[in-house]
């Protein structure tokens, strides 16, 4: 079931909210059970067969976590560590089978010339997210950080529908205490209003913006495979269109997840915070998919040694972490290279900061123009990396990147020569070519690009706008926005107008891009 579907908006969400608050007046356990059951129904709408897999994963990890916690409490560190290792291996084995088995078999066949086959393996929705969520729980149990072991609450913690399919990746300690609070089982009208507003804002980002710019993406990324040679303008337009499609798709989902949860009185950790405003690549990963960055830092980078060893060891740890982070996103060499490229970016960024320290410069201070230049450079680096992320294969990515670098020349659409008049003639005289640009038959993408650039760089984000409601956990400190949500008639009217605009366009709804990960 999609957040941007009529079945979800008009049936599932109202019935789930109503049942939760009605049962909450009778029993907190009943209400929590209802929400867990509703979340399983939400998951099973896609494929009922995988509900059993999800339930088996929940039960296995819950009992493994309680056994690990008992061993830790008894002071039996070795037993706790052994149980943790076995449980983590079991989780990774399950994830590897469904997500990576055919990838490894295909690569083995290519190297060895064999014809091994595992048949078609359908990837269960959200398996990466609920697996990482539960691995974090197991590690926290081993470290004595997990405090509550209630099966109903744990099942709700894992299956909780706002986060189940595409994140955020939750920590046991963030969520379990909230499910134990009596006040969340009573309707809080200010939180319902704030959550509904945030949900509608996210819905508008997805339906009106991400889905609106999406048609300009596929023609460019499919062109190399069809034998079409892209020009510089075509390649950059396609790359930028995808850059904004992914941004507003994931930002919209993140807002909807936080808003939906807020209606139930529960605050999720923030997962997205204006990443294209980042002044360097370190800052970018503090703002993009923030809970994944946190997981990779706490459960991979730090155990590898983090920055506690030599500089070379630190850089190696960064590269390993980002390689695995890339592979987490998908079973393909394009994702591995995307992760490797971001690892190289991070190594360069940390090395630059280390050099500044040796030169006696404050790493945290820079001029306004320096921050703007850093933001532009970071944005361009991210756009280049997104080409690898989106391309169907390495050859297509290389072809697009060559075009972006100008190897195929700069050719403007032929129709522009007449439209630009004297300017067009001047450009042609200067050697700028005008000709066929088949992937830019609809040049409206240029308007999307400059408008969305202004939005992502200059507009406040939804967490800043909704700051009065404190909708999420772990929001980065930013200058307050002049636009502030209030429980008022103007905001109710704006939310209604946006919702109506979305409903009109729901017929073309599409899956969220992060569903595939």
- The pLDDT score that the predictor gives to residue 205 is 95
Burial 61-76 (b: 16+ CB within 10 A, else e): bbebbebbbebbeeee
485: left (phi over 0), alpha (psi -120 to 50) or beta: beta
CA distance linking residue 245 with residue 217, whole number of Å? 8
The closest of 401, 381, 386 to 245, measured between CA atoms, is: 386
To which residue do tokens 């997104």 refer? 386
Tokens of 512: 């969220």
- The pLDDT score that the predictor gives to residue 443 is 63
CA distance linking residue 124 with residue 122, whole number of Å? 6
* Catalytic residue check, 163: no
The closest of 200, 173, 166 to 43, measured between CA atoms, is: 166
To which residue do tokens 């956990």 refer? 473
- The pLDDT score that the predictor gives to residue 441 is 63
- The pLDDT score that the predictor gives to residue 494 is 93
- The pLDDT score that the predictor gives to residue 173 is 85
Tokens of 173: 């300690």
Please give the DSSP secondary-structure letter assigned to residue 215.
G
Apex 512 CA angle, 510 and 517, nearest 5: 135
- Residue by residue, pLDDT tens for the chain (517 residues) are 788 888 899 999 999 999 999 999 999 999 999 999 999 999 998 778 889 999 999 999 999 999 999 999 889 989 999 999 999 999 999 999 999 998 889 888 888 888 888 888 887 888 888 999 999 999 999 988 877 778 888 999 999 999 988 879 988 888 888 998 999 999 999 999 999 999 999 999 999 999 999 999 999 999 999 998 898 999 999 999 999 999 999 999 999 999 999 999 999 999 999 999 999 999 999 999 999 999 999 999 988 888 887 888 899 999 999 999 999 998 899 999 999 999 999 999 999 998 888 887 776 677 888 899 999 999 999 999 999 999 999 999 999 999 999 998 888 887 777 777 887 778 777 778 888 777 776 668 888 999 999 999 999 999 999 999 999 998 887 777 888 999 999 999 999 999 999 988 877 667 777 776 6
- The pLDDT score that the predictor gives to residue 427 is 79
Please give the DSSP secondary-structure letter assigned to residue 433.
E
Choose the catalytic residue: 72, 289, 329, 342: 329
Tokens of 390: 């989106």
pTM over 0.85: yes
Phi, psi (deg, nearest 5) at residue 431: 105, 0
Strands 433-435 and 411-413: parallel
In the chain, the largest separation of any two C-alpha atoms, in whole Å, equals: 83
């Amino acid at each position: 079931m999609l957040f941007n579907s009529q079945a979800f908006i008009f049936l599932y969400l109202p019935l789930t909210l109503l049942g939760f608050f009605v049962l909450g007046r009778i029993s907190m356990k009943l209400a929590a059970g209802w929400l867990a059951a509703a979340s399983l129904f939400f998951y099973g709408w896609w494929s009922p067969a995988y509900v059993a897999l999800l339930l088996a994963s929940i039960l296995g990890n819950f009992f493994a976590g309680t056994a690990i916690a008992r061993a830790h409490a008894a002071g039996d560190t070795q037993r706790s560590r052994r149980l943790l290792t076995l449980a983590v291996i079991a989780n990774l084995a399950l994830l590897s089978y469904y997500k990576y088995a055919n990838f490894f078999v295909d690569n083995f066949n290519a190297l060895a010339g064999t014809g091994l086959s595992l048949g078609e393996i359908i990837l269960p929705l959200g398996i990466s997210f609920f697996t990482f969520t539960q691995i974090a729980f197991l590690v926290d149990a081993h470290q004595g950080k997990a405090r509550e072991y209630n099966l109903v609450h744990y099942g709700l913690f894992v299956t909780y529908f706002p986060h189940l399919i595409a994140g955020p990746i939750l920590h046991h300690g963030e969520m379990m205490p909230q499910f134990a609070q009596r006040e969340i089982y009573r309707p809080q009208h200010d939180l319902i209003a704030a959550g509904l507003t945030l949900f509608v804002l996210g819905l508008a980002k997805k339906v009106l913006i991400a889905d609106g710019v999406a048609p300009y993406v596929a023609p460019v990324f499919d062109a190399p495979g069809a034998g079409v040679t892209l020009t510089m303008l075509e390649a950059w337009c396609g790359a930028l269109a995808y850059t904004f499609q992914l941004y507003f798709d994931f930002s919209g989902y993140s807002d909807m997840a936080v808003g939906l949860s807020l209606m139930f009185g529960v605050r999720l950790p923030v997962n997205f915070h204006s990443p294209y405003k980042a002044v360097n690549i370190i800052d970018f990963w503090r703002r993009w998919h923030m809970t994944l960055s946190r997981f990779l830092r706490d459960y991979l980078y730090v155990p590898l040694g983090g920055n506690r060893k030599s500089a070379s060891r630190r850089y190696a740890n960064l590269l390993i972490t980002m390689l695995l982070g890339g592979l987490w996103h998908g079973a393909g060499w394009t994702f591995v290279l995307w992760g490797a490229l971001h690892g190289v970016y991070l190594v360069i960024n940390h090395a630059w900061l280390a050099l500044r320290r040796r030169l006696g410069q404050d790493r945290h201070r820079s001029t306004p123009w320096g921050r703007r230049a850093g933001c532009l450079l970071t944005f361009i680096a991210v756009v280049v990396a997104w080409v690898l992320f989106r391309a169907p294969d390495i050859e297509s990515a290389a072809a697009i990147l060559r075009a972006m670098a100008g190897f195929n020349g700069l050719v403007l659409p032929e129709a522009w020569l007449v439209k630009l008049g004297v300017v067009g003639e001047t450009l042609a005289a200067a050697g700028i070519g005008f000709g066929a640009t088949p992937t830019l038959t609809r040049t409206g993408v240029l308007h999307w690009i400059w408008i969305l650039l202004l939005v992502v760089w200059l507009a406040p984000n939804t967490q800043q706008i909704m700051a009065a409601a404190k909708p999420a956990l772990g929001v980065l400190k930013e200058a307050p926005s002049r636009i502030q949500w209030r429980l008022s008639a103007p905001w109710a009217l704006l939310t209604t107008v946006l919702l109506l605009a979305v409903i009109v366009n729901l017929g073309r709804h599409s899956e969220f891009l992060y569903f595939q990960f």
